[in-house]
Amino acid sequence: MKSMRKAFVGILFGVLLVVLAACGGGDSTGSADDGVQKITIKLSHEVAENTSQHAGSIAFKEYIEKESDGKIKVQVYPNGQLFGDKDVYQNLVANNVQFTQQDMSKLVGDDPRFNLVSLPFLFEDNDEATKFWDSEKGMEILSSLEKDGVYGLAMWPNGPKHFTNDKRALKSPEDFKGLKFRTQGGQVLEDVFKAVGASSATIPFTELYTALQQGTVDGQTNTFVNINSKKFDEVQKYMTIIGDTRVDLAFFANKEFLDGLNEETREIVDGGIKAGTDAARKAANEMAVEALEKIKERGNIEIYELSEEDINEFKELWAPIYEKYTPIIGEEYIKAAQEIGK
């Protein structure tokens, strides 16, 4: 009787191990010699469906599912449905999701070189930013989190940021005094607001609308696409077009998952990465124009566009930020970025 019990426990334990293995990240089946592996990929991001980030995610999904004849399934979770921006990176590391795009300014605690994206007026437009992040120096930064078990694949632009608030029109540095703004995080953004006499608070993107509505902060800074998609103009009275800092996203993959793919499967996934990146970059430029037009059409918010003279006043005020962060970010990275536009 005892021997039968031992045998039963042994069988049960073996079955349990198989079940646990099947529940691991990526839900993959098939050996390296079986052709395209049957797997499910989870991609989680924090923004709405009408964004370039989501457009890239859908292009990634469609390419992979088509090229694999449906053997590879890609599940896309927008709007922080699966994981919010506070914990999506940790769940990527844990292989609970296999892909995500992360706002680089939220990664400065992992590598201070990510502060570069928040330096005021560093890039003229999306094209300049893209050229830098595709360069050797840019990829060095994107690849820096491999120590966490994460591959930095590419930069997905969201675009230049613009200020909104519910107190007054922001036409000069003086107008910022005493106001409180939400930031994504990062030391550079804190110093940007300190220099104009404002304070800042780090609030997750998924909680920002409510924070603005309830007056937790007076304003925020974001791209046209994000302002439009979340309809921040419903709870803000003024918008200043400035384009000083940026939202740029790192497209990440779990290293263990990607390394576990056989050659044929990896080729398809790599094709999806390129398709998603190309689509996100194309959509970023197109959607920014469309988003601004929609904001204007709704007519909820007073819009002020800074002149070149106005912008020069801000540039002079924020110049010391470069001096402070050059040794932190690395002079070679800042110089490489500045050379892009010359």
* From 10-19, 21-30, 47-56, 283-292, the region with the lowest mean pLDDT: 10-19
Domains 26-111+125-157+248-289 and 162-246+298-340 share a fold: yes
Q: Does pLDDT of 145 surpass 70? A: yes
In the chain, DSSP assigns E strands to 39-44, 72-77, 99-103, 150-160, 162-165, 180-183, 199-202, 219-222, 238-241, 246-254, 302-305
Residue 254: pLDDT band by 50, 70, 90 thresholds?
Answer: very high
pLDDT of res. 264: 98
Using CA atoms of 228, 234, 237, 238 in order, give the dihedral in degrees to the nearest 10.
Answer: 0
The 8-class DSSP code of residue 3 comes to: H
**Is it the case that residue 21 has pLDDT exceeding 50?**
no
Phi, then psi, of 129 in degrees rounded to 5: -60, -45
The predicted pLDDT at position 318 comes to: 98
Q: Please report which residue ranges of 230-262 form alpha helices under DSSP H.
A: 255-259
Q: With 0-12 CB in 10 A as exposed, 13-18 as middle and 19+ as buried, what is 199? A: middle
Which string of b and e fits 215-244 if b means at least 16 CB within 10 Å? Answer: eebbbbbbbbbbbbbbebbebbebbbebbb
Give me the half-sphere count of Cα atoms (radius 13 Å) on the Cβ side of residue 147.
6
The CA dihedral of 79, 163, 339, 312, to the nearest 10 degrees, is: 180
Q: Is the pLDDT of residue 167 over 80?
A: yes
Residue 136 half-sphere exposure toward CB, CA atoms < 13 A:
3
**pLDDT mean over 155-167:** 97
For 31-65, the pLDDT digits (tens) are 445 699 999 999 999 888 989 999 999 999 999 99
- As a whole number, mean pLDDT of residues 129-147 equals 97
Say which range, 18-22, 117-121, 171-175, 337-341, has the weakest mean pLDDT. 18-22
> In the prediction, which pLDDT does 1 show?
41
Residues in the chain: 342
Please tell me the predicted confidence (pLDDT) of residue 127. Answer: 96
List beta partners, residue 219: 165, 181
| pLDDT tens-place string over residues 93-123 | 999 999 999 999 989 999 999 999 999 999 9
Question: Which CATH number among 3.40.50.970, 3.40.50.1000, 3.40.190.170, 3.40.50.2300 corresponds to the domain 162-246+298-340?
Answer: 3.40.190.170
Residue with tokens 């309830």: 214
Buried b / exposed e over 128-142, threshold 16 CB at 10 Å, is: bbbbbbeeebbbbbb
Q: Could you tell me the two tokens for 153?
A: 């694949």
Share of the chain above pLDDT 90, in %: 83
Query: What pLDDT is attached to residue 114?
Result: 96
Give the pair of three-digit tokens for residue 198: 């404002």
pLDDT score of 280 more than 60: yes
pLDDT at residue number 184: 84
26-111+125-157+248-289 CATH: 3.40.190.170
Between 338 and 31, name the one with better pLDDT.
338
The Cα 258–Cα 252 span in angstroms is 11
pLDDT band at 9; cut points 50, 70, 90: very low
pLDDT band (50, 70, 90) for residue 2: very low
**pLDDT over 50 (residue 11):** no
* Domain boundary assignment for the chain: 26-111+125-157+248-289, 162-246+298-340
- Residue 198: its pLDDT value, please? 98
Residue 98's pLDDT is 98
pLDDT value, residue 26: 61
What radius of gyration, in Å, describes the C-alpha atoms of the chain? Answer: 23
Distance CA 158, CA 186 (A): 17
In the prediction, which pLDDT does 16 show? 33
- Kindly state the tokens that stand for 169: 């029109």
Q: Does the structure show a pLDDT above 90 at 247? A: yes
Residue 218 to residue 123: CA distance in whole angstroms: 27
CA distances from 23 to 1, 61, 228, 298 (A): 33, 21, 38, 47
Is residue 28 pLDDT above 60, yes or no?
Answer: no
pLDDT band at 27 (very low <50, low <70, confident <90, very high): low
Q: Is 99 exposed, middle or buried (0-12, 13-18, 19+ CB in 10 A)?
A: buried
Report how many helices (DSSP H) and strands (DSSP E) the chain contains, helices first. 12, 11
